Structure 1
Amino acid sequence: MSPSRRSVLAASALGLGMATVARAGRPTSNAARFSLKFAPHDGSFVSRGDVIEQIAFAADQGFTAWEDNEAVSRPPAQIDAMAKALRQRGMTMGVLVASMPKWSQFRPLLGADDGAEREAMLADLGPAIEVAKRLDAKWLTVVTGFMDPKVPIDLQTARIIELMRRAGDVAAQHNVVLVMEPLNTITNHPNIFMRTIPQGYMIAKGANSPGVKVLADLYHAQIQAGNLIPTLQSCWDEIGYIQFGDNPGRLEPGTGEINYKTIVGWLRKRGYAGVIGMEHGNSLDGRAGEDRLIAAYREIDAA
């Protein structure tokens, strides 16, 4: 999501199956469909071509979801082409970004005494929601800015709860959900405001809106606090979306310390049927990296 984050999300592609037949007007594949809605993104299979060709390739490998942090900045014609490709393949659209900090400026300060940046964040929602509608998307990512060193944390928290209540009212009117993403301060995002899933849980509870939930990015959660499954268990009723990425390196499952097989098993027991964003890069360049990416998800899907 930040420039460094986006640079790590570049990869490539060969795959396991090729499209063969069409049933009910929808292309299918020799590759078995994943049982969970793992969602690659633009860059996961970059050797296959542009984002439309990557969607087609992902579907041919059995993926049933997609996510795109950059959707709001794309040309309208490309957004419509993506929507068409996803519908034809029966794929669920995952998150797109509604509100993201200006990383180089360490803004916004959403808990500041001056409310201008809170109003600007609310103004960002309209265009993002319109793009979400065109893509049949339900979830929009929100990052709640940076800490203001001049304002007590309790005041900042109260102001952000009120902001998210207002934002949730807007989202609920359009049947979408804003998922607030806690980020780690240790490796990637110093001085970010929302740092842990429980902190997001507190703000979601305070906002008390069906339009506000928490995005549990397990890469960030592992760095900042660990204890992933108990944390998910405690905060489950306010978690609206999940993203995977191993640590260290923010690469595919199996490259680091997180036991994603166990996490997948736990999610199955919970009956989780939502999207799981593949918010990470590939450990190898080129098509070898894309092969490894697919194999990593086959392994945890079979757990």
Structure 2
Amino acid sequence: MTLSRRALIGAAAVAAPLAAACAQAPRSNAARFSLGYAPHEGSFASRGGLFEQIAYAADQGFTAWEDNEAAKRPVAEQTRMAKMLADRGMTMGVFVAGMPRWSEMRPRLGGNDDADRESYLAGIKASLDVAKRLNARHATVVTGFMDPRIPLDVQTARVVDTMRRAADLVEASGLVLVMEPLNTRTDHPGVYMQTIAQGYAVARGVDRPSVKILADLYHEQIQSGNLIPAMTECWSEIGYIQFGDNPGRKEPGSGEINYANIVKWLRGRRYSGVIGMEHGNSAKGRAGEDRLVAAYRAIDAA
């Protein structure tokens, strides 16, 4: 049967918006995770580059993504990533604002060098455009390194003052800076902020909604342990969470942390934010990627 010209035009008018809607709707081959676990580039490396990995993560049911290196990416790539995440119904997690100079053990925000503080704040200010392009609500900040010549209490006061100035820079934008305590026993000797409790003290001193704590449970397990009590005491200042098992910094179930219980506790707290998957895979290739997804299915079912 031959369709009339009018019928063909009518069919096209219906098909065009339908095709556009289908192209924009989130596609998924699996049930969506109930919490906002966020993989990163490298989590699914066998699937291709950055955008192929985002698509694969979405198809596995992940609803968030994080990218420490986002600020270093070309603007066009940042914009494309934001669009892809929006199209797939995914939330952007953290990126790093103002990467520390690890080899120089800088900045020393509690030291006597004002240039260190000014450079640090300039990096945070530059991150505002990145956050806007990515639709990111949180940015990771590392509060630098210890200065062994200066009393700890003096350094703390100076870190608090610096983070208040940082809050002044970002607050109008809605961006929240989440300070990450790092362990000194395995990965980052010499850093200033080493525990969630220390982060709490600084955040309370700053007393601004735009400065909170990033509770990376891999680092906290190494430095202090006692994860649930530590988060309970400091919960009002925790703005973002990251997972990683210990030893090895791989997916849940590869080490000693009972992440199923952590998930139960977070549900009890009605946590609805992003949970960064700040770790590698315990096995290489697709077998490791499958193990990663299975590990998060197991804890998500807790």
TM-score, normalised by the number of residues in structure 2: 0.92
**CA distance in 1 between partners of 2:266 and 2:217 (Å):** 13
Task: Tell me the equivalent position of 1:96.
Answer: 95
Matches within 5 A, 1:143-182: 143-182=142-181
**Residue type of the partner of 1:206?**
G
2:26, 2:89 within 8 Å by CA — same for their partners in 1? Answer: no
Equivalences, count: 282
The alpha carbon displacement at 1:100 in A equals 2.4
The alpha carbon displacement at 1:102 in A equals 1.0
SS of the aligned residue for 2:26 comes to strand
Matches within 5 A, 1:101-112: 101-112=100-111
TM-score, normalised by the number of residues in structure 1: 0.92
Cα deviation code 1:69-128 (max 9, x no counterpart): 000000111111101110100100000000222111111111111211111111011221
Matches within 5 A, 1:246-265: 246-265=245-264
Tell whether 2:67 aligns with 1:61.
no
Between 102-111 and 269-278, the greater mean CA deviation after superposition: 102-111
**CA distance in 1 between partners of 2:283 and 2:90 (Å):** 26
**CA distance in 1 between partners of 2:144 and 2:93 (Å):** 22
**CA distance in 1 between partners of 2:29 and 2:44 (Å):** 18
The alpha carbon displacement at 1:23 in A equals 5.1
Matches within 5 A, 1:1-303: 25-303=24-302
SS of the aligned residue for 1:178 comes to strand
Task: Tell me the equivalent position of 2:6.
Answer: none
The alpha carbon displacement at 1:164 in A equals 0.4
Give identity over the alignment, percent. 66
The alpha carbon displacement at 1:24 in A equals 8.1
1:100, 1:145 within 8 Å by CA — same for their partners in 2? Answer: no
**CA distance in 2 between partners of 1:28 and 1:294 (Å):** 17
The alpha carbon displacement at 1:138 in A equals 0.4
2:34, 2:300 within 8 Å by CA — same for their partners in 1? Answer: yes
2:24, 2:88 within 8 Å by CA — same for their partners in 1? Answer: no
**CA distance in 2 between partners of 1:292 and 1:133 (Å):** 34
RMSD: 1.0
1:169, 1:209 within 8 Å by CA — same for their partners in 2? Answer: no
The alpha carbon displacement at 1:25 in A equals 2.9
**CA distance in 2 between partners of 1:74 and 1:44 (Å):** 18
SS of the aligned residue for 1:191 comes to coil
- Please identify the structure whose Cα radius of gyration is greater: 2
The alpha carbon displacement at 1:26 in A equals 1.0
**CA distance in 2 between partners of 1:181 and 1:30 (Å):** 34
Cα deviation code 1:232-288 (max 9, x no counterpart): 000000000000000000000000000000000000000000000000000000000
**Residue type of the partner of 2:150?**
V
**CA distance in 2 between partners of 1:230 and 1:142 (Å):** 24
Cα deviation code 1:38-83 (max 9, x no counterpart): 0000110111111111101000000000000000000111111101
**CA distance in 1 between partners of 2:26 and 2:242 (Å):** 27
**CA distance in 1 between partners of 2:24 and 2:162 (Å):** 44
**CA distance in 1 between partners of 2:168 and 2:89 (Å):** 30
**CA distance in 1 between partners of 2:79 and 2:128 (Å):** 14
Task: Tell me the equivalent position of 2:16.
Answer: none
**CA distance in 2 between partners of 1:24 and 1:86 (Å):** 13
**Residue type of the partner of 2:88?**
R
**CA distance in 1 between partners of 2:223 and 2:70 (Å):** 28
**CA distance in 2 between partners of 1:280 and 1:156 (Å):** 30
**CA distance in 1 between partners of 2:197 and 2:170 (Å):** 22
Between 269-278 and 44-53, the greater mean CA deviation after superposition: 44-53
> Structure 2, unaligned stretches of length 5 or more?
1-20
**Residue type of the partner of 1:232?**
M
> Structure 1, unaligned stretches of length 5 or more?
1-21
